[in-house]
Homo-oligomer: A and B are copies of this chain.
Amino acid sequence: MYFSIDPSNGVPIYEQLVRQVKFAVADKVLVAGQMLPSVRNLAQELAINPNTISKAYAQLQTEQVLEPLRGRGLVVRPDSLHRCVTARQELLSVRLNAVLEECLHAGLSREEVTSMFEKALSALA
């Protein structure tokens, strides 16, 4: 349940966090009711600004992945597993779509795209 952050890779840090929490839930590394590290602790551990943690946690609450436990901290919502799994699926599907659209828009034929896809997939042993 430890997160790895790269502050110089273009993707906003808070987004990296949001994504990692969601994936941890989908992978059942974080389970319903489990408590998350406090903003302060996590900020210190990752050596990043507490505001950034807060922003990520806030977004995870609005996306109904986490919920506050009155005055004690944030926990994984019991109904979030399914949400995270499907959200991840959908997210990936959207991104795949975007890449394919760009391929076609760039002048590649369907055959070229398919061959590229097969090569890429088989390369991922």
Partner-B contacts on A (CB < 8 A): 7-8, 12-13, 23, 26-27, 49, 62, 67-72, 88-89, 92-93, 95-97, 99-104, 106-108, 110, 113-114, 116-117, 120-121, 123-124
Contacts and interface: CB of A to CB of B under 8 A. Distances in A.
Contacts of A97: 120, 123-124
A106 B92 contact: yes
Given A92-B116, A121-B100, A106 B23 contact: yes
Count of this chain's copies in the oligomeric assembly:
4
Contact of A92 (B8, B27, B62, B102): B102
Chain A interface SS verdict (over half): helix
B99 A95 contact: yes
The 7 A-B pairs with the shortest beta carbon distances in the complex, nearest first, are A8-B67, A97-B120, A7-B69, A95-B99, A27-B107, A96-B99, A92-B103
Nearest to A102: B92
Given A8-B69, A70-B13, A121-B113, A89 B108 contact: yes
Given A67-B8, A106-B88, A96 B117 contact: yes
